[in-house]
Structure 1
Amino acid sequence: MSVELNHTIIHSHDNHAAAAFLARILGLEVGAEWGPFVPVTTANGVTLDFASVPDGVEVTPQHYAFLISETEFEAAFARIRELGLTYWADPHGRHPGEINRNDGGRGLYFRDPSGHGMEIITVPYGGFPAQDDRPEKA
């Protein structure tokens, strides 16, 4: 069996709000709550299980990058602007209000309500476009 990432736990101040936020931006569904987790599943089957930390506990910011198609980027970018979110072309926040064109694609960074760094890209670093944007083989 090949190794695949199945799920990861994302700590948040409010697991329901965090899951709903990311699902809205990415155009995904929030799954049914299971124990302390509120899941959001990506197209490749990886589940992001949002879990609330106890009151008074700090959330350690992590980075999550999502490879999406150009069409999905347009939709996500529109939702980011619609919500009035701050976004950057770079992970250090030096280029606010801009997107990047790394590796011939488009990308941007934004923060979720718990402070995690979220990234959407249409081309992986050094790679090919998202699956549905790749040219068809002859």
Structure 2
Amino acid sequence: MDFVLSGVAACGACLFTNPLEVVKTRMQLQGELKSRGSYSVHYRNVFHAFYTIGKVDGLLGLQKGLVPALYYQFFMNGVRLGSYAIIESSGHIHTNGRVSGVKTTLAGAVAGVVGAVMGSPIYLVSGFDQHFLKL
């Protein structure tokens, strides 16, 4: 259950941060295939990018790529936080009834690595989708 709840919480956060990801990606890619100074600047700053994307693509344009981002967040953070919860509930972070800082750090590192390994293929697909479908 920890895996599911963690994944759902991460998806909830993703709904609010995805528009920032859309703006960041578009700003990074404007003029990417042209030599420096030979392309027109579509987005002068973050606020202008939000306004322009909302005006041209509509408000839903700010949520492009949401589905792959939700998959990524669900799997990566669900596995990461769920793994940590299993390690914690099994008592591996306690020494003599007290929480060990070293064991807690190691448990977090292991859970983070497991989440990153599980989420990496989805992140690759998500990045591909954002690059080719958002523009």
Between Structure 1 and Structure 2, which shows a larger proportion of helix residues? 2
TM-score (norm 1): 0.20
TM-score (norm 2): 0.20
Whichever of the two has the greater Rg, that structure is 2
Between Structure 1 and Structure 2, which shows a larger proportion of strand residues? 1
**Higher RCO, 1 vs 2 (CA within 8 Å, ≥6 residues apart):** 2
